[in-house]
Chain A
Amino acid sequence: MNTELFDRLGEPARMRELAGYDLLNPDLRTSLDAVAQRSATLLEAPVSLVSVILESAQFILGSHGVSGWVAAAQGTPAEWAMCTYTVLAGEPYCITDGRSDPRHSGNPFLQLTGLVSYLGVPLLGAGGHILGAHCVIDARPRIFTDVDLAVITDGAEKVMRLLHAYRTG
């Protein structure tokens, strides 16, 4: 497993903040699915995710267009998740075409799903830690616009308002 990456993601204070949310609440999932569906529709993307990045895996809290092994696992290994890059960057992250991007061309998630482009924005918790990301992923190369970024940022703000209502600690 990828020790250096997991050490960064598993930083105790960040994990404690994540642990302060009721992430498995089914009502939260329903609400976040709706946010993902809205973002996918507005940005005409086949896939949208709301996810948190745990110490070794991406956990999908809400989604649109997810199927197969990703749906079965409700996530992906952290080292395959493009949202991991968003979390580590702490700012919006985009991939125009993962097939020709040396950072992502060998990513099994892209190879297995046929998805190639990505736009994600970080989810900033009240404790100051980047908890996860809200994103859209597309099967065609895309140059995302400022309008696209504004839409996904608006979605992320909705996500954080919903998450705030499910704080337990």
Chain B
Amino acid sequence: MIASSPYGLSRPTMDDARAAVLRVHAGDGRRIWDQLLHAAGLTGRETDDSALDRLLTQMSTSDATTRLCALALRIRVTSHTHLAAAAQSITRS
């Protein structure tokens, strides 16, 4: 089993992505979030990694500020993936 929160680091979720978009776009955040979901064919209630990946891909083709949100979330996803795998190997050894 892969550690869910290695070193206290949680894997980003759709809720985290929504919070990021609302945060950096302030008053336009809700409208941009809805556009992103629509373009990605998502409801925003998905909980699986593939849905988040689709959303991040969509965000990466959006406006420059949203692209930076996607970049930050990708850094967190990649950090989590590597550290969770490392924690798993430590547990096994």
A interface with B by C-beta (< 8 Å): 1, 3, 6-7, 10, 12, 15-16, 18-20, 23, 54-59, 68-69, 72-78, 108, 111-112, 168-169
Question: CA separation between A6 and B7, bound complex, in Å?
Answer: 19
Which residue from A23, A55, A168, A169 sits with its C-beta under 8 Å from B69? A55
Query: Is the beta-carbon distance between A69 and B86 smaller than 8 angstroms?
Result: yes
Task: Tell yes or no: B67 within 8 A of A by CB.
Answer: yes
Q: Which residues of B contact A54 (CB under 8 A)?
A: 68-69, 71-72, 75
Kindly report which residue of chain A lies nearest to residue B83, judged by CB atoms. Answer: A69
26 contacts between A and B (CB under 8 A): A1-B12, A1-B16, A6-B20, A10-B20, A10-B23, A12-B25, A15-B68, A18-B65, A19-B63, A19-B67, A19-B68, A20-B64, A23-B68, A54-B69, A54-B75, A55-B20, A55-B68, A55-B72, A57-B75, A59-B71, A59-B75, A72-B82, A76-B75, A77-B76, A108-B7, A168-B64
Query: Is the beta-carbon distance between B78 and A18 smaller than 8 angstroms?
Result: no
Query: Is the beta-carbon distance between B75 and A77 smaller than 8 angstroms?
Result: yes
Q: Using C-beta atoms within 8 Å of the partner chain, give the interface range for chain B.
A: 20 to 34
Q: Which residues of B contact A168 (CB under 8 A)?
A: 64
Task: Tell yes or no: B24 within 8 A of A by CB.
Answer: yes
Which residue from A12, A58, A73, A169 sits with its C-beta under 8 Å from B64? A169
Question: CA separation between A1 and B63, bound complex, in Å?
Answer: 24
Q: Which residues of A contact B19 (CB under 8 A)?
A: 1, 3, 6
B interface with A by C-beta (< 8 Å): 7-10, 12, 16, 19-20, 23-26, 63-65, 67-69, 71-76, 78-79, 82-83, 86
Query: Is the beta-carbon distance between A108 and B76 smaller than 8 angstroms?
Result: no
Question: CA separation between A1 and B15, bound complex, in Å?
Answer: 10
Q: Which residues of A contact B67 (CB under 8 A)?
A: 19
Q: A6-B23, A54-B69, A59-B71 are in contact. List 6 more A-B contacts (CB 8 A).
A: A6-B20, A12-B65, A54-B68, A54-B71, A56-B16, A69-B86
